[in-house]
Structure 1
Amino acid sequence: MDKLDTIFSCPFCNHGTDVECRIYTKNLIGETSCRICQESFSSVITSLTEPINIYSEWIDECERVNNHEEEEEEDVDQDDGYVPKKRVSTAE
């Protein structure tokens, strides 16, 4: 069986082989980071997690954030620039 990749291209700076994934099984954390632009991502892992899984989660999270920002921009356009403010409680 072929071994899966552990080095990938960065979704932020697009450098081809500068994203490295690391798995810390003792802490159940997987991390991926770019050596060029220093962007990084971490997630909780299981014993079956491979570096490609962590990288894929990072890409999925990037897409989720980008789609959310696009939806917010569409809401602003539809409401003529009015964006309702969220209430934040200061009581502890």
Structure 2
Amino acid sequence: MGKRKSRTKPPPKKRLDKLDMVFNCPFCNHEKTVDCLFDRGNKIAELSCGVCKESYNTSINNLTEAVDVYSEWIDECERANDFEDPA
């Protein structure tokens, strides 16, 4: 005779934390004022600050998230500052 199969629960799935969609503005230093809007049809993302009205546009692909666009904006700001201050 065969043994009965034990019914064990499958291990719980890993919980993925949601990524932020609202960020701090690098220009006016206000917290949680930069919103990210995606236009997946035209493959464009736009970040804009609600206080100082600074904005940044970039092209995206299907895997791009809001954090990626924000990081790209911060990198562009740093490159612009490095270009102005060679010393």
TM-score after normalising by structure 1? 0.76
The alpha carbon displacement at 1:67 in A equals: 0.2
Post-superposition Cα deviations, 1:13-66, rounded to whole Å, max 9, x if no partner, equal 000010001111001001100000000001000000000111100000000000
Structure (1 or 2) with the larger CA radius of gyration:
2
Please tell me the root mean square deviation across aligned C-alpha atoms, in Å.
0.6
Percent identity over the alignment?
Answer: 51
Unaligned runs of 5+ in 2: 1-15
Select the structure that is richer in helix. 1
Q: Distance in 2 between matches of 1:12 and 1:69?
A: 16
Q: Distance in 2 between matches of 1:55 and 1:21?
A: 8
